[in-house]
Amino acid sequence: GIIHAMGLSPEAIYRFEKRAPAFLDSIRPRLKIELVDSEFADIDRGRKYAEELRDWNAAFSHFYTVMIGDERPYVERTDAAIWASQMLINMSRLRDAKQMLEMASNAFDPKISGNDSLSFRARVNEKHAWISDYRVKPKEELRYFETAESYALGIPEEARDEDIKKLLSTIEHFRGRAHFVLAWSGEDKEINLREALKSFERDLGNYMRVREAGKPDPQGEGFNHIWIARCYIYGGNFDLTDEEIGKGLTSFKEEIERNPLKRDLLAHYHLVRAEYFIMLGNPKLAIIESERALAIRLEKKPNFPKGQIEALAIMALASWQDRNLGYAFVCGRRALQIVKNLRS
């Protein structure tokens, strides 16, 4: 059809962009752990580094120090282990994250019980699912999410804290991502793309109810709008794409007004626009958008190689479509330089 007439299949675009994390993980040097003073280490301080200051290395140091603190309650140490694993996932250290989750499960699970145990098991399986998402293993990802959801739903509704409520929302969103990957791996495309769209729309509905309750999370809303747009793009439903991308941008801008350090969110907006222009057969605009995404990630998230390589991948594909093989080669070399820097 029209997509393949452009010379690029959606499968090629998506796979090329999304294989970066697993590849980066395979060539990483050993993790160097820097502890902070045990009296200074604190989960709330780590969360501030992670969520507000966007400094995953500093956040990890706090979480890891709390996790290994023998004098601390096991519930606190399990919470720290989950957060530490997420920081490793953010940094594309997937093997380290998986090993940490397994170690924490063996060490802490026998020490807790009741709802604390159900919560911990739900969160461990959710993080395993994140790792499967980064490794582009959608069926494995769905199995982990199914297990995580069963543990989370085992907690009485009145006893579910904000972390569990957010986890259930995350499961819905990433379930959509898994179905999206299945669709473009050639497995029941229409069915999986439809299931992906349903998941993103359900999760967006959850966020809208939270907004109505006076606790808006525009970042979460924005990601769902972007992924809904991506479903429209690869499903060829271009009439609805512009509006959905625009809603994503509006949500991200609202989040950035609350926390200017989150300006890196705009990279997601520019990347989905780049994918859209590739599918429309306008590679020159796709190159411009992916260059904008890369510039934002280099400035705002220099320690996020996955994001930089994703932008370079889309840039290379657009250049290839534009028959600008020289620039495609340059993009490839820049990506390889990032890999080389990781090895040093």
Cα separation, 64 vs 56, in Å, equals: 12
Residue 324 has pLDDT above 90, yes or no: yes
Q: Is 39 buried (19+), middle (13-18) or exposed (0-12) by CB count in 10 A?
A: exposed
**What is the pTM assigned to this prediction?**
0.84
Q: What's the average model confidence in pLDDT over 295-313? A: 84
What is the rounded distance in angstroms from the CA atom of residue 100 to the CA atom of residue 89? 11
**Is the Cβ–Cβ distance between 35 and 64 less than 8 Å?**
yes
Chain segment 146-161, per-residue pLDDT in tens = 999 999 999 999 999 9
pLDDT in tens, 89-123: 988 888 899 999 999 999 999 999 999 999 999 99
Considering only 108-122, 137-151, 195-209, 297-311, which range has the smallest mean pLDDT?
297-311
Average pLDDT value for residue range 296-301: 85
Residues in the chain: 344
- Assess whether pLDDT exceeds 80 at residue 339: no
- In whole angstroms, how large is the CA radius of gyration of the chain? 20
- At residue 31, does pLDDT exceed 90? no
Q: Point out the least confidently predicted range of 24-28, 72-76, 102-106, 115-119.
A: 24-28
pLDDT for the residue 23: 53
Closest by alpha carbon to 88, among 128, 117, 119?
128
Between residues 302 and 333, which one has the greater pLDDT?
333
218-234 and 162-183 helices, crossing angle to 10°:
10
Tokens (6 digits) for 280:
């429309």
pLDDT attached to residue 91: 85
Q: Can you give the pLDDT at residue 17?
A: 53
Structure tokens at 193: 């793309």
Positive or negative, the CA dihedral 331, 336, 337, 338 is positive
Instruction: Identify the residue whose tokens are 């809603």.
Output: 247
